[in-house]
Structure 1
Amino acid sequence: MDILAQTRTVNIIRVVTDLGYVLHENRKIICPFHPEKTPSLVVYPQNNSYHCFGCGKHGDVINFYAGVANLDYTTAMHELAFNYLPDYKPELYKWGHLKKIQTSAPAKPEKIALPTDTKTYEYKPLHSEIYEDFARVCRLQPANSVWEEAWRYLAGRGFAESTLRKFHIFTVNEYHPVQAYLRNTYNVLDLQESGLFNERGNLIFYRHPIIIPYYRKGRIVFLQGRIIGNPSDTVSRYQFLSGVPVELFNADVMDILKAGQTLYVTEGAFDCMTLMQEGMAAVSLGSATMFKREWMKLFRRFEVCFYFDNDAAGQKAAREYGEVFSQYGVSTRVKTVKEGYKDVNDYFSKRE
């Protein structure tokens, strides 16, 4: 029994509602991870994940339960399996650690409005066409203050122009003309299905003008936006496509790497780009919490080295992924960023 894979399929909406949270319009709930009055955490049944647009917390159904129940990832996985998987064998884990999820309603029950748009996400070639047209239009925009600020920031992160060109980084210099072009060129439903537009019919990269395209076989298959500089308390550092499962960043490098060679795995795309600039083959998960099981077969030919952020969450994720990879026969090791540096990019851009 592959407990991890099966537990990740547990319906996140069922878990959320069983825990007493009320689903509002567009599958939003009051975020349990930071104080707020207006719901900002969105549940995505398409890929069984969540993302809070207030504090930036995101992950799979296990991450959500772990955060709410204040548990580590492994314990949360077993408790969810105990509660929702009929074939789970409690002897696989310590009985004393298993708790039955309370499904009683909160003190002030609200009417649960289940969303109608719970269809499974399906990638279409049109999505890549939309992403690539979006990139083309942005690159045609004249340079302005947004462009200058963004490229100064990227240079400050230690990136050479050749690296930024190699990874096709671009910016949304003027938001409204790009949004208008996409609306006039494509059906809004297609734009929403591709994840580039939100439920209100607006381009999602309003506050995140630095765009990181994810390529596979030469086509853009995913997009990630980043703010310029450090985030505020109300804006998350990154903006991922709305409701679209994340892809591996720089996955094409795996096609040219020889069997047995070291492949570094980072959390963020900037860390991956930094290692590539330093001559080390690397891919990025986009987030340490969003690894997809179908990726596992891609790693079997390599010696995998996790090079995650220098914090408790990053090192914990590296250990847990090491255990998961070993179950699939993949050899792994962990490299730690030196003390005093927060992540790979921080180290390589500031080292003397």
Structure 2
Amino acid sequence: MITQESIDALKAQLDVVDVVGSYIELKKAGANFKAPCPFHDEKTASFVVSPAKQIYHCFGCGAGGDSIKFTMEYEKLNYPEAIEKLADTYNFTLTYTDKKNNKPRSQVMDKLNEYYQNLLTSRQDASSYLHERGIYESSVEKFGIGYAPDSQSSMNYITSQMFTLKEAVDMGVVGYDNGRYFSRFIERITFPIHSPNGALVGFGGRTISGHQAKYVNSPETPFFNKSRLLYAYHHAKQALHKTKEIIITEGYLDVIMLHQAGFNNAVATLGTALTPEHLPLLRKGEPRVVMAYDGDKAGRAAALKASKLLSAGGFSGGVVIFGGGLDPADMVKDGRVDELASMFRSPKPFIEFVLDEILSLYDLKDPKAKEACMQEAIAYLKTLSPILQEEYKTYLASRLSISPSFVRIAKQTNISQTNTPVMQTSSHRDMWELSLIKTLLEKPHMLTQVLDVLDPSLLQFHQNEFSLLISNQTEHPSIMAISVDESIKVIQNEDELQKELNTFLSKHYNRELKKINIRQDISYEQKGFEIRRLRKLISKLK
């Protein structure tokens, strides 16, 4: 079993926004973050993540909990499996009550990386290639660039370091097929790939021996998912948070050369186009995104796809396309750093880039083609917010040389833009009762003061939630919903609480007094006693 002390230490390192945000895209909404719920189908965002409370809650389906609970539900894992998954992700070493299990995650990848780095200096062809591309020795060291030899040499090194080939397979550095083991990286310059927190999770490799596949990456493992990772993000994250900008390129060498030139906020996708799974990582720090892509057909297609994704996601920024067969690495090598800086300062905005790329695909002299072009552009505009749709109708009309009245975008329905979802746990929301419950959640020392004068039966609408609170069932969905709802205010201090209680009780007893006056099922003497009792209580409150 995993020790409780170890679990508590792991929890202390976890941030629920970071954990949830690594799976789904979160958008800032006041003090919280929100998204469409990943646990049920919905069109509006009713899933809220609270950094202050370190919990998430869905106002639609009631799902809620902490970082571990989310990992369990999303990955379909049991409790120990979720803890081990998070420990691996955040490079945390767990301890177990059974001492035999107290071993850290396999270090085979780290050892192999050291081996690759040491081999680089003895490979003249690899060193010459890097030198010719303009890469400094300091960059070789910073980015941990190495060289992978023939397959058998790599496997011999792995076993000589007392690792098994089975764990090397699990970590993605060795493959197994038809009864034989083989190295994943053979005669290639290696680029270690890290998670956002700096843990080594995979490799990229570039051939220098004429292999048909110029670049290869590690296979998918529990630690390596190329659709969620960005090369050199762990190096760039400090700079991107400082500059509020991130530059995304297509290749490892582009990133390395840009860092050499002072663009320390540069990263690259890992041989894949930008995907929706990248967006949670890009959302961190809310930076301006600059896509720096090659001007060939593949580069422009990738830039178009990324621009559609980013503009629909509400990102600011734009696209820089490199012409003449050049790329960022070439421009740095040629000393054109000032020109690069100017290009990055003035990228083509995503929406304009998308519309212009769509227009370039059609012969606008042909009326039929122009009409088809307009319909494709309108379909794209529908992915944007209503304000942006309205703004870019005019731009599209101008580029098509038609009247803006021809650009008709149907009204969208069932769109909720509110930052605070509506609780669905009660047919009526009494804000005072909810405020009382939230106050006691955040300031439990006030509970005695409340229980001295009030019990759940006195509440009209939220008796159940109050009962859950006083029985310490704070992980119940109804309680979590109250905890993360920003529309519910907290009573600030004990004096204010006392005034609020007096007002509430006065109203309550006056309601009871009216009920007694019209009751027909009790005797005159009993009615008189109840009336005197209630008037005495009201008088005391006054």
How does the TM-score come out when normalised to structure 1? 0.57
Q: Which has the larger radius of gyration?
A: 2
1:212 aligns with 2:195: no
Distance 1:241 1:136 in 2: 17
Which range moves more in the overlay, 235-244 or 180-189?
A: 180-189
* Aligned-pair CA distance for 1:335: 0.7
1:349 matched residue in structure 2? 333
CA change 1:297–1:249 in 2 (3 A) is: closer
Which range moves more in the overlay, 149-158 or 324-333?
A: 324-333
* CA offset digits 1:161-193 (Å, max 9, x no partner): 111111111113565333112145223232112
Distance 2:203 2:113 in 1: 10
Confirm or deny: 8 A CA contact 2:295 2:321 kept in the other structure: yes
* Aligned-pair CA distance for 1:338: 3.2
1:190 aligns with 2:167: yes
SS at match of 1:222: strand
CA change 1:259–1:141 in 2 (3 A) is: closer
Confirm or deny: 8 A CA contact 1:214 1:222 kept in the other structure: yes
5+ residue gaps, structure 2, are: 1-40, 44-75, 78-84, 92-103, 337-542
1:273 matched residue in structure 2? 256
Distance 2:130 2:257 in 1: 11
* CA offset digits 1:301-336 (Å, max 9, x no partner): 111100012211111211221121122221120011
Confirm or deny: 8 A CA contact 1:222 1:241 kept in the other structure: yes
- Higher RCO, 1 or 2 (CA under 8 Å, sep at least 6)? 1
1:37 matched residue in structure 2? none
SS at match of 1:336: strand
Give the residue type in structure 2 aligned to 1:249.
Y
* CA offset digits 1:283-309 (Å, max 9, x no partner): 111124263515434335111100012
* CA offset digits 1:186-231 (Å, max 9, x no partner): 23232112211112311111132x11011233321221111127x4
CA change 1:211–1:303 in 2 (3 A) is: same
1:249 matched residue in structure 2? 231
CA change 1:170–1:322 in 2 (3 A) is: same
Give the residue type in structure 2 aligned to 1:154.
L
Give the residue type in structure 1 aligned to 2:231.
F
**Higher helix share goes to which structure?**
2
Residues paired across the two proteins, number: 229
CA change 1:127–1:248 in 2 (3 A) is: farther
* Aligned-pair CA distance for 1:143: 4.4
* Aligned-pair CA distance for 1:350: 4.1
1:224 matched residue in structure 2? 204
SS at match of 1:326: helix
1:296 aligns with 2:273: no
1:168 aligns with 2:151: no
* Aligned-pair CA distance for 1:142: 8.4
2:25 matched residue in structure 1? none
Distance 1:141 1:318 in 2: 36
Trace 1:141-152 onto structure 2 (pairs within 5 A): 141=119, 143-144=121-122, 147-152=123-128
CA change 1:290–1:236 in 2 (3 A) is: farther
* CA offset digits 1:81-140 (Å, max 9, x no partner): xxxxxx999xxxxxxxxxxxxxxxxxxxxxxxxxxxxx99x7945667221110123344
Q: Structure 2 residue aligned with 1:282, among 246, 254, 266?
A: 266
Alignment root-mean-square deviation, CA: 3.0
2:109 matched residue in structure 1? 131
Give the residue type in structure 2 aligned to 1:170.
G
Trace 1:1-352 onto structure 2 (pairs within 5 A): 124=88, 129-141=107-119, 143-144=121-122, 147-173=123-149, 175-184=151-160, 185-200=162-177, 201-208=181-188, 210-216=189-195, 217-228=197-208, 231-232=210-211, 235-244=212-221, 245-246=225-226, 247-252=229-234, 253-258=236-241, 261-280=244-263, 281-289=265-273, 291=275, 293-300=277-284, 301-341=286-326, 343-350=327-334
SS at match of 2:262: coil
SS at match of 1:257: helix
Which range moves more in the overlay, 199-208 or 256-265?
A: 256-265
How does the TM-score come out when normalised to structure 2? 0.38
CA change 1:224–1:298 in 2 (3 A) is: same
Confirm or deny: 8 A CA contact 1:127 1:221 kept in the other structure: no
CA change 1:88–1:237 in 2 (3 A) is: farther
Distance 1:312 1:243 in 2: 28
Distance 2:288 2:274 in 1: 21
5+ residue gaps, structure 1, are: 1-86, 90-118
Confirm or deny: 8 A CA contact 1:127 1:194 kept in the other structure: no
* CA offset digits 1:257-296 (Å, max 9, x no partner): 3366321001111111111111112111112426351543
Confirm or deny: 8 A CA contact 1:251 1:283 kept in the other structure: yes
Give the residue type in structure 1 aligned to 2:205.
G
Distance 1:277 1:138 in 2: 22
CA change 1:199–1:308 in 2 (3 A) is: same
